[in-house]
Chains A and B, each alone.
Chain A
């Protein structure tokens, strides 16, 4: 995805990675999508509060740069496995918010036809093999997808997103080992937001950084500031190159923070208001990216305003689409359990 021309490239020589690598249009599109993730989740939260969505949901507000940065160097054919906190990954990989809303509203037009909801949101056509209700559940699946890529010689790279909590599941360790032994084109992305539900990494994890685990499986372990889009995208870019070159997996630890509680039933008793406040006001990934874009002259206030307005329209249209879409019929409860054969 080389965007910038030679002359433009020279003028950006001292800027961070993404400003050298991508065109202004592409970067504005990233800002658009970061806002889209944020507003999608706010819209979902509001719909939940109003009783239009049931169950629970896990919001990734505060982690948008991580999802966008990792997906930036991926092509449409590349694949991801996602997590219970997967709305951002889904949008970053190219999903339409209207079909995501429809899924949350339990409608047939949703990505999972109303069967999966937030925790199983997926967009298989765009390479998202699905969020997951099981912590760590997607990690071996990503390795399997990478094995397919290698066996079928498709050239696809696979990203497995997971949280810091997942690094203590056996699946994580077994999967990383196989990926390394077989040199598979897979990238393990730990979005370390400091907590698995209420349990801080200090209380749950023997190593200081999740990336330290990489040494045990002979792969590079890279730590990035997950709230700085350029840092994340650069690490992802290198890992994708390594994977495509057949050199095997990388473990990226993207250090970030979730602004909201773990799920809809969290009282936030395990962290302080000050801590949350600090991340929200001083390290918000959208604000940080927006400031850089402005500072480096990629966008002005009017441009930002236009993006915000366009996002608001897309969200409103998406919710309307979801509301007016049909619900599945109860006679179809048994569909999709097995593959229907002609």
Chain B
């Protein structure tokens, strides 16, 4: 079993998953801007066009609304498109097709169709690409019934969740943090899936639950390692899916640790942290809380270009350490 596990980057893991999906099912194809000979803006499709040809690795014009809509139309009528947005920010141009069409078509037609489309969104800040190329918009789509929204944080999950997304009969939106693409981790060869809608406890602990998403999972784990030396035992829950959310895993963790902190890169207000906090406040775990819930999210500002400002707008490991320390010691 172990012999089949290699170290792959997050981008390689996604590429492998797409190749496996195309090998297994000839209805699967890729669409997106510059995903062919260019290999994708982040080299995720890489040389797939050489292996699968330009019909199955289809470069689109720069037409996000139309392209996303074409993918939806193809999905409704028997194909299994995987649509790559060059940056998640450009989802804003395609909101109509994602929110009004893909998400609602099955419902509006009384279950007569389903929309098995997968959309991939390179997201997040940290690359110096400024305000229109650095956003974290997953909560926007997480607000829409009919969509499933996932944020794999490791190469293993990136591959397994993409394969689960392709097998899913409903539209699945995958947010991939750009800074994760080069991150390496163990990935088994061949086909496997990681279920959508299941959180993962990445580190067990007694004193505090940190619910984190995407790149913040690794930051939370790094913070936890430092805090361990101070005698603070952190449990890190990787949410993985934001819709449908795995409430039970979070509830059980909070019942165990009695403290909750949410860490995510998107703007703090009206975000995933608000949802997780409210969900806990409404649940039986509320009675177990020993301290107020803490949210660490992005600043209430677009992402600035200047690198120091850019870093300061999203939670960093020292911010998590300080907040966790204060939370456990009861500093308010």
State the A residues within 8 Å of B (CB): 54-56, 103, 106, 112, 114-117, 119-120, 132-137, 165-166, 168-170, 196-199, 203-205, 265-267, 269-270, 327-328, 330, 332-334, 337
Contact = CB atoms under 8 A, between A and B. Distances in A.
A54 B127 CA distance: 8
B306 A114 contact: yes
B78 interface: no
Given A55-B305, A116-B130, A337-B302, A197 B63 contact: no
Given A165-B62, A170-B65, A328 B306 contact: yes
A45 to B, nearest CB: 15
Contacts of B41: 197, 265
Contacts of B93: 134, 169-170
Given A170-B66, A330-B309, A334-B301, A56 B128 contact: yes
B133 A133 contact: yes
Contacts of B64: 169
Interface of B: 33-34, 36-39, 41, 59-66, 89-90, 93, 127-133, 299-302, 304-309, 312-313
B65 A197 contact: no
B133 A119 contact: yes
Interface SS, A side: loop
A269 B132 contact: no
Contacts of A136: 62
A328 to B, nearest CB: 6
Contacts of B130: 55, 115-117, 119-120, 133
A204 B34 contact: no
Given A55-B127, A119-B133, A134-B132, A327 B306 contact: yes
A333 B66 contact: no
Nearest to B127: A55
Contacts of B63: 168-170
Given A333-B304, A333-B309, A196 B37 contact: no
A337 B313 CA distance: 13
A56 B133 CA distance: 11
A327 B65 contact: no
Given A170-B63, A198-B38, A334 B299 contact: yes
Given A115-B131, A337-B302, 16 more contacts: A54-B307, A55-B127, A114-B305, A116-B305, A119-B133, A133-B89, A133-B132, A134-B132, A135-B62, A169-B64, A196-B33, A198-B34, A198-B59, A199-B62, A267-B38, A269-B38
